[in-house]
């Protein structure tokens, strides 16, 4: 491994375009804005992530990696790094937003460390904190906080996955002994993919159907011992190690099953549902459905942190690839002697800079998301509507950012050629570890379906007592009136006078209001059309209603995705309004426009089919994106430098300046040979 510390001052050559008097980026101020509301906490966490003892060692065996990560959790405890969200009465800080901000930055050190600490304190500990009551906090949390009791979060079952409401594990109350009997009745009910379950976990928060007096009151959470101090399963508890995975092998994922395991009645985490000694069930929430979603909503922080960590990982991959692309030279395209810098090629710009724009959008959207999360969990804004909004935002943004991370890391790997495939350059390791982010804490497609259902619910409230004619009139207004007579869209949809220069064709598309209207209109129209088709589904027999919904499922998920993209664009635009430095604001406006026009380009077929863009303007979208990436090319290094990663964060040899040294050495050698006249004559020249 190359000594990165010796190369911290190395910088890529400044592109010639930077000397033409264009706007300048205040990298420091932009970097501070990207860090968001909890900037100082993030910086402190990054300092921690720069510590070698907390970083991943490439090439370790699975067993070595697991033990290293467990030891790293102990270091985090010693450093007081993991208690921020817990009650002040127990030594915490009651700081929920700051806790997530710090936790997300651990992905820089090792995604396995980030996720295993999340399992211990963000899932296992958080279940006790948010689903338990004060006696549970006092009895269980101190040992969880200190890591004296490593634990597993046993929700997912191998036979049901994201369908938590249908899990088959039962917790049946026995009034004679005042105990719950935890039981997995068949193999498909085994708890699966659980961090800490394979090896280290001593206790688990187990989700099961609560049954008392012959009535199933739905899913509740129970605190269940699973191993003794020697690491052996307790009577009635069994399980298996998941073994080697496609990534995150520092985490001991495993599966658990229970055969009539008895626990005290008091081990029911009873904030939302309780059972008296005689078996009587009570709950402050009467509706079983609302109770279930309220309980799950208290655990939304996993999705919040995955959104942030995936965004950080994308930024790391882009920083490595763009830094390398600013230094690596190949092919003499415009000179007989000078090879071109990779990032000067249009295709290289096109493959990296739009993804950079999306990453910026995700940074700004995530900070707003985290502020919302903190307001809900601190109690500052804790109404039912606030909680539902938070859950919807989480279900909208987590899929987009985790999918984007996989796409970006793969493209960054390819953009670095063979060097990107070398483990020491980090990208392949990040890609493997981030792969599972799209699945856990909710499969992305399932989450987007939840978003779509919420959008449909909000839409239907407008027509609760409306007849079919009213609905039809609204749909017509969405697909016709709004398209051709709404502000801005009539001009964008026209074909007359669209011919001419690209600048004329896209002049409207550069307008912030036009971008907002196009993105908003797509969401509203998609939901209105689907709602119109599903309006009578509730009157159908259950099987027919399900079939009707299934026929629209793909479009529902696409509408939810469009909603998430709109949230990101709006957050970017609000962040842009807060920029004070004029040069930075100009460059960041180009980045925002690249993100917005990139969304139009991605969904161009929809805009054409619905008459929102004329063919001429649609054709101009791609041409203007090419202009934007060319305009942004001189600022690419500034934009990734603003992420604030130091060499000890990236730990990628090709991003240390070594490539610049190699290229400078090669150019100097050829220059010297030309001056000395000692270069061999090319064959073509020799034949003349």
Q: Do the strands 151-154 and 203-212 form a parallel or antiparallel pair, or are they unpaired?
A: parallel
DSSP conformational letter for 682:
P
- Up-side HSE of residue 226: CA atoms within 13 Å toward CB? 31
Q: What is the pLDDT of residue 675?
A: 87
d(CA 104, CA 111): 9
What is the Rg, in whole angstroms, of the alpha carbon atoms belonging to the chain? Answer: 28
- What's the mean pLDDT in 7-24? 55
Read off the tokens for 441: 């804490």
pLDDT of 463 over the 80 cut: no
The chain-wide mean pLDDT, for the chain, equals 89
Q: What is the pLDDT of residue 296?
A: 86
Would you place residue 666 in the very low, low, confident or very high pLDDT band (cuts 50, 70, 90)? confident
d(CA 321, CA 633): 14
Read off the tokens for 447: 């989450």
> With helix as H, strand as E and coil as C, how does 136-178 read?
HHHHHHHHHHHCCCCEEEECCECCCCCCHHHCCCEEEEECCCC
Domains observed in the chain: 152-287 (2.40.110.10), 300-442 (1.20.140.10), 444-633 (1.20.140.10)
Would you place residue 539 in the very low, low, confident or very high pLDDT band (cuts 50, 70, 90)? confident
CA distances from 373 to 302, 433, 448 (A): 11, 25, 19
Q: What is the pLDDT of residue 337?
A: 67
Q: What is the pLDDT of residue 335?
A: 66
More confident residue, 657 or 496: 657
pLDDT of 469 over the 50 cut: no
Q: What is the pLDDT of residue 659?
A: 83
Which of left, alpha, beta for 555 (phi over 0: left; psi -120 to 50: alpha)? alpha
**Phi, psi dihedrals of residue 509, rounded to the nearest 5°:** -70, -25
Using DSSP, state whether 642 is helix, strand or coil. coil
What are the pLDDT digits (tens) for 245-275?
999 999 999 999 999 999 999 999 999 999 9
| DSSP labels, 457-514 | HHHHHTTTT--HHHHHHHHHIIIIIHHHHSTTHHHHH--TT--S-HHHHHTTTTSHHH
Would you place residue 327 in the very low, low, confident or very high pLDDT band (cuts 50, 70, 90)? confident
Would you place residue 688 in the very low, low, confident or very high pLDDT band (cuts 50, 70, 90)? low
Q: What is the pLDDT of residue 231?
A: 95
What are the pLDDT digits (tens) for 420-433?
999 999 999 999 99
pLDDT of 468 over the 50 cut: no
3-state helix, strand, coil in the chain (%, to 5): 60, 10, 30
Q: What is the pLDDT of residue 483?
A: 36
- 444-477 core/surface letters (b: 16 or more CB in 10 A; e: else): bbebbbbbbebbbeebbeeeeeeeeeebeebbee
Element (H, E) at 602: helix 582-602
pLDDT of 461 over the 80 cut: no
pLDDT of 69 over the 70 cut: yes
Triad 666, 672, 676: Cα angle to 5°? 145
pLDDT of 597 over the 90 cut: yes
pLDDT of 115 over the 90 cut: yes
pLDDT of 384 over the 90 cut: no
d(CA 87, CA 93): 6
Q: Where are the beta strands (DSSP E) in 32-80?
A: none
Would you place residue 103 in the very low, low, confident or very high pLDDT band (cuts 50, 70, 90)? very high
Element (H, E) at 686: helix 683-686
Would you place residue 403 in the very low, low, confident or very high pLDDT band (cuts 50, 70, 90)? very high
Would you place residue 238 in the very low, low, confident or very high pLDDT band (cuts 50, 70, 90)? very high
- pTM check: above 0.85: yes
Q: What is the pLDDT of residue 475?
A: 42
Q: What is the pLDDT of residue 382?
A: 84
- What's the mean pLDDT in 209-226? 98
CA distances from 30 to 33, 534, 585, 623, 642 (A): 5, 46, 10, 28, 6
d(CA 122, CA 99): 9
Read off the tokens for 571: 């957050």
What are the pLDDT digits (tens) for 551-569?
999 999 999 999 999 999 9
pLDDT of 685 over the 50 cut: yes
- Residue 50 CB neighbour total at 10 angstroms: 17
Would you place residue 661 in the very low, low, confident or very high pLDDT band (cuts 50, 70, 90)? confident
- 617-646 core/surface letters (b: 16 or more CB in 10 A; e: else): bbebbeebbeebbebbbbbbbbbbbbbbbe
Would you place residue 462 in the very low, low, confident or very high pLDDT band (cuts 50, 70, 90)? low
pLDDT of 341 over the 60 cut: yes
């Amino acid at each position: 491994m190359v000594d990165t510390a010796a190369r911290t001052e190395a910088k890529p050559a400044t592109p010639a375009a930077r000397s033409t008097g264009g706007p300048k980026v205040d990298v420091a101020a932009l970097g501070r804005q990207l860090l968001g509301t909890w900037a100082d906490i993030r910086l402190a966490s990054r300092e921690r992530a720069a510590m070698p003892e907390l970083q991943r060692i490439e090439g370790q065996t699975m067993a070595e990696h697991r033990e290293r990560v467990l030891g790293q959790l102990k270091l985090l405890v010693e450093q007081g790094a993991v208690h921020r969200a817990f009650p002040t009465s127990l030594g915490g800080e009651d700081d929920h937003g700051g806790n997530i901000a710090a936790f997300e930055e651990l992905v820089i050190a090792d995604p396995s460390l980030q996720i295993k600490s999340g399992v211990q304190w963000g899932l296992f500990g958080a279940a006790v904190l948010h689903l338990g009551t004060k006696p549970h906090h006092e009895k269980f949390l101190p040992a969880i906080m200190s890591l004296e009791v490593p634990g597993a979060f046993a929700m997912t079952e191998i036979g049901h996955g994201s369908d938590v409401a249908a899990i088959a594990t039962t917790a049946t109350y026995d009034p004679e002994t005042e105990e719950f009997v935890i039981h997995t009745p068949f193999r498909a009910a085994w708890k699966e993919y659980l961090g800490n379950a394979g090896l280290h976990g001593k206790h688990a928060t187990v989700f099961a159907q609560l049954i008392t007096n012959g009535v199933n009151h739905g899913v509740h959470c129970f605190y269940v011992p699973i191993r003794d101090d020697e690491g052996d399963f307790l009577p009635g508890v069994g399980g298996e190690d998941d073994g080697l995975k496609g990534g995150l092998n520092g985490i001991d994922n495993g599966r658990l099953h229970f055969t009539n395991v008895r626990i005290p009645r008091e081990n029911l985490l009873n904030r939302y549902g309780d059972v008296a000694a005689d078996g009587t069930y009570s709950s402050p929430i009467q509706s079983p459905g609302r109770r279930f979603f309220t309980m799950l909503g208290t655990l939304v922080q996993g999705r919040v942190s995955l959104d942030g960590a995936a965004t950080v990982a994308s930024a790391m991959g882009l920083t490595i690839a763009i830094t390398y692309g600013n230094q690596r030279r190949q092919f003499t395209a415009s000179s007989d002697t000078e090879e071109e810098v990779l990032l000067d090629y249009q295709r290289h710009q096109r493959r990296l800079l739009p993804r950079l724009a999306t990453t910026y959008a995700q940074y700004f959207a995530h900070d707003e998301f985290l502020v919302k999360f903190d307001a809900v969990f601190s109690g500052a804004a804790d109404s039912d509507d606030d909680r539902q909004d938070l859950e919807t935002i989480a279900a909208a943004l987590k899929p987009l950012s985790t999918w984007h991370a996989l796409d970006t890391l793969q493209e960054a790997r390819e953009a670095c050629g063979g060097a990107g495939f070398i483990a020491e350059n980090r990208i392949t390791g990040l890609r493997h570890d981030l792969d599972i982010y799209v699945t856990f804490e909710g499969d992305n497609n399932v989450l987007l379906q939840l978003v779509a259902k919420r959008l449909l619910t909000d839409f239907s409230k407008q027509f609760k007592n409306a007849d079919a004619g009213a609905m039809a009139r609204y749909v017509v207004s969405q697909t016709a009136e709004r398209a051709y007579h709404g502000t801005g869209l009539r001009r964008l949809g026209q074909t007359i006078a669209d011919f001419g220069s690209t600048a004329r064709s896209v002049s409207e598309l550069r307008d912030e209001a036009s971008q907002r209207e196009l993105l908003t209109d797509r969401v509203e129209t998609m939901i209105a059309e689907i709602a119109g088709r599903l309006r009578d589904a509730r009157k159908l027999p259950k099987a027919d209603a399900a079939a009707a919904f299934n026929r629209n499922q793909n479009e529902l998920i696409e509408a939810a995705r469009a909603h998430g993209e709109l949230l990101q664009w709006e957050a970017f635009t609000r962040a842009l309004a807060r920029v004070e430095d004029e040069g930075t604001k100009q460059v960041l406006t180009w980045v925002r426009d690249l993100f917005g026009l990139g969304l139009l380009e991605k969904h161009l077929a929809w805009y054409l089919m619905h008459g929102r863009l004329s063919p001429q303007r649609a054709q101009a979208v791609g041409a203007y994106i090419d202009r934007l990436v060319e305009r942004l090319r001189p600022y690419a290094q500034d934009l990734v430098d603003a992420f604030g990663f130091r060499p000890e964060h990236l730990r990628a040899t090709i991003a240390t300046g070594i490539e610049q040294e190699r290229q400078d050495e090669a150019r100097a050698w050829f220059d010297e040979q030309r001056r000395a006249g000692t270069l061999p004559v090319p064959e073509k020249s020799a034949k003349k």
